[in-house]
Structure 1
């Protein structure tokens, strides 16, 4: 029983750190803590560019290398660069980041992404530099 309580407490601390993050690096730290393992940028790139049983991949709208504006595959709406080095507003609002991860993961994977998947994708996006 104490192990379950400890895991629950650790989980809430990890969730709290992701929710209160103010920078992409802080958000990444929160997702990595939730996942309980290091983020792997190469795995994030693979996830981003792969289809997961649905019609689209992340790259369908954001581009294979999301350093420029993309275009929504269905609506045609312009989407600003996703990589934080190319769009400094990205991943600075935890609530907005969670909202878009939830929506986009549902569109791409048909489910919410795991903390490890979010960490991997975000670590790859943070590795993209000007």
Structure 2
């Protein structure tokens, strides 16, 4: 078998799109960034600080018994949470549950359900990206 010279290998590797090497979470964040930029041309990127605020802030538009993400997920993203019925919820921090965001369809399902319950509406792409950026760093 003929060996591929290192320089040629590196050149070919650079031709591959970066998204092909990116994982599901990075692809999801990239899609949210595109949608956020389309909705707001001045969008300049996601913010873990805004994501933390979204996670801890209380809202009045959703259900009264779930005014914030912390109602079920708790204040510490690395700790397990609990539903109102007592069912355990795995930690939302990527460091504690590495495979949690591997399925984009599940991520969207839970954003839709949880945002409607907490905020009383769907989250914007920027809110989703900010929140994922926050839990990614935890």
Q: How would you bin the TM-score normalised by the shorter chain?
A: 0.7 to 0.9
| Corresponding residue number in structure 1 for 2:135 | 125
Q: Is 1:61 aligned to residue 62 of structure 2?
A: no
- TM (norm. structure 1) is 0.77
The equivalences for 1:93-104 within 5 A come to 93-104=103-114
Q: In the TM superposition, what is the alpha-carbon distance from 1:84 to its structure 2 partner?
A: 1.4
- TM (norm. structure 2) is 0.73
Note the aligned Cα RMSD (angstroms). Answer: 1.6
Distance in 2 of aligned mates of 1:82 and 1:39: 18
Q: Give every structure 1 segment of 4 or more consecutive aligned residues whose post-TM-superposition deviation is greater than 2 Å.
A: none
Q: 1:99 to 1:22 in 2, by over 3 A?
A: farther
Is the Cα–Cα contact under 8 Å of residues 24 and 84 in structure 1 kept in the other structure?
Answer: no
The equivalences for 1:45-124 within 5 A come to 45-53=52-60, 54=62, 55=64, 56=66, 57-72=68-83, 74-124=84-134
Is the Cα–Cα contact under 8 Å of residues 94 and 137 in structure 2 kept in the other structure?
Answer: no
Q: In the TM superposition, what is the alpha-carbon distance from 1:52 to its structure 2 partner?
A: 1.6
Q: In the TM superposition, what is the alpha-carbon distance from 1:22 to its structure 2 partner?
A: 4.7
Is the Cα–Cα contact under 8 Å of residues 22 and 94 in structure 1 kept in the other structure?
Answer: no
| Corresponding residue number in structure 2 for 1:10 | none
Distance in 2 of aligned mates of 1:61 and 1:25: 25
Q: In the TM superposition, what is the alpha-carbon distance from 1:127 to its structure 2 partner?
A: 1.1
More divergent stretch after superposition (104-113 vs 60-69): 60-69
Q: 1:106 to 1:51 in 2, by over 3 A?
A: same
Q: In the TM superposition, what is the alpha-carbon distance from 1:51 to its structure 2 partner?
A: 1.5
Is the Cα–Cα contact under 8 Å of residues 24 and 90 in structure 1 kept in the other structure?
Answer: no
